[in-house]
Amino acid sequence: MVPKKPHALLLWMLVCSGGSTEAIEPISTSIAVGMAAALTGFLATYPNIFYYFNECCRPEWISLNKTGLKVDLDRKLYGQHIASRIILKAVSGFMSNDNPKKPLVLSLHGWTGTGKNFVSQLIADNVYKEGMDSSFVHIFTSELHFPHASQLETYKSQLQQWIKGNVTNCAHSMFIFDEMDKMHPGLIDSIKPYLDYYDKLDGVSYRKAIFIFLSNAGGESITQTALDFWKAGRDREEIELKDLETLLSLAVFNNKKSGLWHTSLIDKNLVDFFVPFLPLEYRHVLQCAMAEMIARGHQPDPSVADQVARDVVYFPKTERVFAVKGCKTIESKLDYYI
């Protein structure tokens, strides 16, 4: 629906542009009104044209590409059969529900460099046309956004206002909390009402938003389970969510440094899915190196990938099964080999 009057059009442009209002501010009202008048005739002919150029909180810009997400998870994410399955199910179930009872809350856990940020990006890429660059996707990092423990109370109210403002602007907003292990649990507790089964809070409904928490908490217990399977000569793919789930939520709840330590988010079952990320093995590091070569436009060379993967450090010391840094340093390491 396109407003017909110039002033209404301008207002609509400002509302629809969401995060990009700053770009419009410097233009004086008279010029803007003039521009709007000129545009009106054009828009009367092509009523939806503006949606195609300016990101809006509309299905043209926000809708799940389920096949795309499945293909990405199958082809680009290595060694994470459990995470892959949960994420596809959780995101597609949530996005296909027009009336969810609460926002989707995912808590991603695992060893470093196993794909937690990477998966968040795959989700964003397949929900928002602009992917991680979307003005409806927001990332919080403890060290960047909440560095001083003494300012916890300020951070709490800022975070609440920030989330409220963004969800008011677009119900389908996504919030990623990185480095949860370094966050004060009180901070996350302060947004608990937004994650709960409320119809509306102060006139705002949070039920269509997605919250993703990333942390290394629980990584050790996941790794121990993966190692037990390996030692027993069992296939990694035999590991099931039930082998990890209870262990994981306990490890997170009881870990003072998990960011979710004794938070009511866990008490009240507000986290919909605890998603375990398994530690990566030699063969996965190999795949990461091959993918990185392709991403750089090189012919993928298995012998180079093998060299890169062999030079990575593995643990435990005796068995040398899992990559200490996962696939995290492959991108920079590859520079030495090609």
Ligand X SMILES: Nc1ncnc2c1ncn2[C@@H]1O[C@H](COP(=O)(O)OP(=O)(O)OP(=O)(O)O)[C@@H](O)[C@H]1O
Name all contacts of 313-320 with Cβ < 8 Å and 24+ positions apart.
314/282, 316/227, 319/227, 319/230, 319/231
**Shortest separation between residue 289's beta carbon and ligand X, angstroms:** 10
Cβ proximity to ligand X: between 74 and 240 the closer is 74
Query: How many residues in the shown chain lie near ligand X by CB under 6 A?
Result: 19
DSSP secondary structure string for all residues of 97-147: -SS-SS-EEEEEEESTTSSHHHHHHHHHHHHBTTGGG-TTEEEEEHHHHS-
Range 77-116, binding Mg ion (CB under 5 A) = 116
Range 278-297, binding ligand X (CB under 6 A) = 280, 288
**Shortest separation between residue 325's beta carbon and ligand X, angstroms:** 8
Return the residue of 117, 141, 160, 307 that touches ligand X, per CB under 6 A: 117
Choose the stretch contacting ligand X; rule: CB under 6 A; options: 125-133, 297-305, 307-315, 325-333.
Answer: 325-333
| Cβ contacts of 229 within 8 Å, gap of 6 or more | 235, 236, 238, 239
Backbone angles phi, psi at 313, to 5 degrees: -85, 135
**Shortest separation between residue 118's beta carbon and Mg ion, angstroms:** 8
Residue 117 sits in the site that holds Mg ion (CB under 5 A): yes
Q: What residue is closest to ligand X based on CB?
A: 115
In whole angstroms, what is the distance from residue 225 CA to residue 32 CA? 61
Instruction: Give the x/- contact pattern for ligand X in 153-192, rule: CB under 6 A.
Output: ----------------------------------------
Cβ proximity to Mg ion: between 117 and 264 the closer is 117
Cβ proximity to ligand X: between 76 and 129 the closer is 76
**Shortest separation between residue 261's beta carbon and Mg ion, angstroms:** 19
In whole angstroms, what is the distance from residue 327 CA to residue 288 CA? 6
Return the residue of 50, 61, 118, 273 that touches ligand X, per CB under 6 A: 118
Cβ proximity to Mg ion: between 55 and 181 the closer is 181
In b/e form, how buried is each residue of 294-332, taking b as 16+ CB within 10 angstroms?
A: eeeeeeeeeebbebbbeebebeeeeeebbbbbbbbbbee
In b/e form, how buried is each residue of 2-40, taking b as 16+ CB within 10 angstroms?
A: beeebeebbebbeebbbeeeeeeeeeeeeebeebbeebb
Range 38-97, binding ligand X (CB under 6 A) = 76-80
Residue 216 sits in the site that holds ligand X (CB under 6 A): yes
User: How far is CA 212 from each of CA 3, 65, 138, 201, 298, rounded to the nearest angstrom?
Assistant: 36, 19, 10, 21, 34
Cβ proximity to ligand X: between 27 and 294 the closer is 294
Neighbours of 269 (CB within 10 A): 11
Helix, strand, or coil (residue 28): coil
Query: How many residues in the shown chain lie near Mg ion by CB under 5 A?
Result: 2
Neighbours of 151 (CB within 10 A): 11
Cβ proximity to ligand X: between 124 and 327 the closer is 327
**Shortest separation between residue 15's beta carbon and ligand X, angstroms:** 34
According to the annotation, is 114 in a ligand binding site?
A: yes
Residue 109 sits in the site that holds ligand X (CB under 6 A): no
Q: Which does 185 bind (CB under 5 to 8 A by kind): Mg ion, ligand X, none?
A: none
Q: Which does 286 bind (CB under 5 to 8 A by kind): ligand X, Mg ion, none?
A: none
User: Which residues sit in the known binding site?
Assistant: 110-117
Residues annotated in a binding site for ATP: 110-117
What are the residues binding ligand X (CB under 6 A)? 76-80, 112-118, 214, 216, 280, 288, 326-328
